[in-house]
Amino acid sequence: MRVLFRVRGSNAIMCGIVGYVGPRPARELLLGGLARLEYRGYDSAGLAIGQNGALRSVRQVGKIADLAAVVDDGSESFPGSYGVGHTRWATHGAPTTPNAHPHFDCTGEVAIVHNGIIENWVELKAWLEGRGHGFASDTDTEVAAHLIEEMSTLPLAQAVAEVLSRCEGALALAVIRRSDPGLVVGGRKGSPLVIGRGSGENFLASDIPAFIAHTRRMMVVPEDRVVEVRSDSVRITDLSGVEQEPEEQDVEWDMEAAEKGGYPTFMLKEIYEQPQAVAETLLGRIGPTGEPMLDGTGLNAEVAKDVDKVFVVACGTSYHAGMMAKYALERWAKIPVEVDLSSEFRYRDPVLNPRSLVIGISQSGETADTLGAVRYARGQGAKVAAVTNVVGSSLAREAHIVLQTRAGPEIGVAASKTFIAQMALLQLLGLHMAIERGVMTTAQASGPVNALRSLPDRLEEVLELSDEMLELANRWRDVRDFFFLGRSVDYPAALEGALKLKELAYVRAEGYAAGEMKHGPIALIEPGVVVFGVATDRRLRSKMFSNLSEMKARGGTVVTLVGEEDVGEAAVTSDLVIPLPEDAALIGAVLAVVPLQLFSYHLATIKGLNVDQPRNLAKTVTVE
Q: Which residues contact 184 (CB under 8 A, 6 or more apart)?
A: 19, 20, 21, 82, 83, 84, 174, 175, 176, 204, 229
Q: Is 276 in the site for ligand F6R (CB under 6 A)?
A: no
At residue 323, what is the residue type? M
Nearer to ligand F6R, 122 or 609 (CB): 609
CB of 391 closer than 8 Å to CB of 95? yes
| 362: contact with ligand F6R by CB under 6 A | yes
Q: Is 265 helix (H, G, I), strand (E, B) or coil?
A: coil
φ/ψ region of 5 (left if φ > 0, alpha if ψ in -120 to 50, else beta) reads beta
Looking at the Cβ atoms of 265 and 363, the one nearer to ligand F6R is 363
Which of 81, 99, 137, 318 is the binder for ligand F6R (CB under 6 A)?
318
SS3 content of the chain, % helix, strand, coil (to 5): 40, 25, 35
Nearest distance from C-beta of residue 70 to ligand F6R, angstroms = 31
List of E strands, 435-568:
482-486, 509-513, 530-535, 557-563
The answer to whether residue 390 forms part of the interface with ligand F6R (CB under 6 A) is no
From the number of C-beta atoms within 10 Å of its C-beta (0-12, 13-18, 19+), residue 187 rates as buried
Strand 509-513 versus strand 482-486 pairing type: parallel
- The nearer residue to ligand F6R, 415 or 455, going by C-beta atoms, is 415
| Cβ density class 9-35: b for 16+ within 10 Å, e for less | ebbbbbbbbbbbbbeebbbebbbbbbb
Which of 215, 370, 488, 574 lies at the binding interface for ligand F6R (CB under 6 A)?
A: 370
Give min distance, CB of 93 to ligand F6R, in A.
22
Nearest distance from C-beta of residue 621 to ligand F6R, angstroms? 5
Pick the closer one to ligand F6R by CB: 16 or 322: 322
| Least gap, CB of 313 to ligand F6R (angstroms) | 10
| Alpha helices by DSSP H, 98-155 | 121-130, 142-150
Q: Smallest gap, in angstroms, from Cβ of residue 440 to ligand F6R?
A: 29
Nearer to ligand F6R, 180 or 503 (CB): 503
Do the Cβ atoms of 507 and 480 come closer than 8 Å?
A: yes
Segment near ligand F6R (CB under 6 A); pick from 251-259, 364-372, 527-535, 599-607: 364-372
Told to check if 597 binds ligand F6R by CB under 6 A, we report: no
Nearer Cβ to ligand F6R (414/473):
414
Binding status of residue 364 toward ligand F6R by CB under 6 A: yes
CB of 347 to ligand F6R, least distance (A): 18
| Count of CA atoms in the C-beta half-sphere (13 A) of 486 | 29
Q: Are 118 and 124 in contact (CB under 8 A)?
A: yes
Phi-psi region of 21 (alpha: psi -120 to 50; beta: other; left: phi over 0): beta
- Shortest Cβ contact with ligand F6R: which residue? 316
Shortest CA distance to 263 belongs to which of 593, 17, 4, 40? 4
Residue 338 φ/ψ, nearest 5 degrees: -115, 140
Q: Which of 543, 552, 607, 619 is catalytic?
A: 619
Residues in the interface with ligand F6R (CB under 6 A) total 14
Residues 400-439 that bind ligand F6R (CB under 6 A): 414-415
Q: Is 343 in the site for ligand F6R (CB under 6 A)?
A: no
- Give the nearest distance from C-beta 500 to ligand F6R in angstroms: 7
Only segment of 113-121, 362-370, 466-474, 517-525 that touches ligand F6R (CB under 6 A) = 362-370
Query: Which one, 31 or 391, has the nearer CB to ligand F6R?
Result: 391
Q: How far is the CB of 155 from ligand F6R (least distance, A)?
A: 47
Q: Does the annotation mark 15 as catalytic?
A: yes
Bridge partners (DSSP) of residue 197 are 202
Nearer to ligand F6R (CB atom), residue 191 or residue 318: 318
Chain centre to alpha carbon of residue 549: 38
**CA 200 – CA 197 distance, rounded (Å):** 9
* 265 near ligand F6R, judged by CB under 6 A: no
- Candidates 367, 427, 466, 597; binder of ligand F6R (CB under 6 A) is 367
- Show the site string, 440-479: x = touches ligand F6R by CB under 6 A, - = not: ----------------------------------------
Q: Is position 46 an interface residue for ligand F6R (rule: CB under 6 A)?
A: no
What minimum distance in Å lies between the beta carbon of 360 and ligand F6R? 8
C-alpha dihedral sign at 321, 327, 332, 336: positive
Options 15, 125, 189, 269, the catalytic residue: 15
The secondary structure element, H or E, covering residue 172 is strand 169-177
156 alpha carbon, distance to own chain's centre = 31
In this chain, which stretch among 205-213, 283-291, 313-321, 452-460 interacts with ligand F6R, using CB under 6 A? Answer: 313-321
Kindly indicate which of the ranges 44-52, 59-67, 288-296, 361-369 contains the residues binding ligand F6R, using the contact rule CB under 6 A.
Answer: 361-369
Q: Which is nearer to ligand F6R, 51 or 367 (CB)?
A: 367
Phi, psi of 87 (to 5 degrees): -110, 130
How many angstroms separate the CA atoms of 471 and 467, rounded? 6
Task: Tell how far CA 137 is from the center of its chain.
Answer: 23
By beta-carbon proximity to ligand F6R, the closer residue of 67 and 415 is 415
Which residues lie across from 600 on neighbouring strands?
none
Specify the residue, 65 or 618, whose C-beta has the smaller distance to ligand F6R: 618
Q: Which is nearer to ligand F6R, 51 or 281 (CB)?
A: 281
User: Is there binding between residue 394 and ligand F6R (CB under 6 A)?
Assistant: no
Is 486 a binder of ligand F6R (CB under 6 A)?
A: no
Q: By CB under 6 A, is residue 609 in contact with ligand F6R?
A: no
Residue 423: count of CB within 10 angstroms of its CB:
32
Q: Provide, rounded to whole angstroms, the least separation between the CB of residue 398 and ligand F6R.
A: 13
* Candidates 58-66, 113-121, 277-285, 363-371; binding stretch for ligand F6R (CB under 6 A): 363-371
Q: Which of 317, 394, 488, 536 binds ligand F6R (CB under 6 A)?
A: 317
Q: How many CB atoms lie within 10 A of CB 624?
A: 10
Query: Is residue 619 annotated as a catalytic residue, yes or no?
Result: yes
**What is the radius of gyration, based on Cα positions, of the chain?**
25
Asked whether the beta carbons of 502 and 476 are under 8 A apart, the reply is: no
Find the shortest distance in angstroms from Cβ 378 to ligand F6R. Answer: 17
Given a contact cutoff of 8 angstroms between Cβ atoms, the answer to whether 315 and 339 are in contact is: no
Please name every residue paired with 218 in a beta bridge, in sequence order, or none if there are none: 196, 249
Entry field: residues in the chain: 624
Footprint of ligand F6R (CB under 6 A): 315-318, 362-364, 367, 370, 414-415, 499, 503, 621
Residues involved in catalysis: 15, 619
